[in-house]
Amino acid sequence: MKFPGTQLRLLIPLAFLLCSFIGCASSFSGRNIMEVTDETEVQGCKNLGLVTGNSHWGGLTGQELSLEVAKKRALAHARAKGATHVLWLNMTKGFFGASVSGKAYVCSENANAITGKSDSASRIIPLSKSLTSKKQAPGGYAAVMRFESAGMDSGVSMVITDIFTNQIQANGKYRVMERSQMNRILSEQGFQNSGACSSTECAVEIGRLLSIDKMFVGSVGKLGESWVINIRIINIQTGEILSNVSKQVVGKVDNLSPAAIQMANELSQ
């Protein structure tokens, strides 16, 4: 039986509607996973990595349905990882389909600091730890700039920045500004930054626009067969470097995660 073009265009979204009620998309189920949009809701949870989903149906009438299918696929991906929460990063829909992306987390009932696995054959080597005698004021406002990537994939430095930020938040010494709020304020102020903000002058300029007390600035790089992380705290009012910590990590790139956590703990003392 053949359907005219107009009827066929109406039948396809109707089929999607029926599937959503009778369970045709049950293979994409994300049951028992909490969907969140704020990083504070997964503070102290373990980051399991990126999850994505997409749907190639769109048109004029099926964009919302397409987005729901894409979300269900992403949630199924998260569930396969053992996630309990998904923090949505991006959702797009259009005439040609929809796509979503997010971070998967596993959160225990009494989640504390993020923990990471390290390769048993690897080790973390402290390079230097230069702390001033000045103590940070409890409850001060702080922000973490995206760490600069030195001779390596920028995606790695972005992940390490997020792990470090989450641990700083979990430690509770600083009230850390959310990245979305940072971006909104900088956009409203018309701030233009063409590259990584790793210099003290750049950090102070941004910190004053954000009206914060401290700024965490760092870099992640590859040195031979090892990795090096450098992080420092800058006093926005004076431009002084209050603390500086560096570590060399030998082994897999995965071992950067526990190193970043350890550095966050040291800089929270």
- How far is it, in rounded angstroms, from Cα 232 to Cα 81? 34
pLDDT at 196: 55
What digits encode the pLDDT tens for the residues 99-127?
888 888 888 754 433 333 334 444 555 55
- How far is it, in rounded angstroms, from Cα 37 to Cα 71? 14
What is the pTM (predicted TM-score) of this model? 0.51
Query: Tokens in use for 145?
Result: 């700039």
From the options 3.30.565.10, 3.30.110.70, 3.40.1350.10, 3.40.50.720, give the CATH code of 26-106: 3.30.110.70
- How far is it, in rounded angstroms, from Cα 263 to Cα 241? 16
pLDDT at 125: 55
pLDDT at 49: 82
Domain 123-266 homologous superfamily, CATH: ABC-type transport auxiliary lipoprotein component (3.40.50.10610)
DSSP code, position 136: P
What digits encode the pLDDT tens for the residues 72-97?
888 988 888 888 989 888 888 877 77
What is the phi/psi pair of residue 206, to 5°?
-65, -40
pLDDT at 57: 65
Q: What stretches in the chain show pLDDT beneath 50?
A: 2-3, 8, 11-31, 110-122, 128-137, 194-195
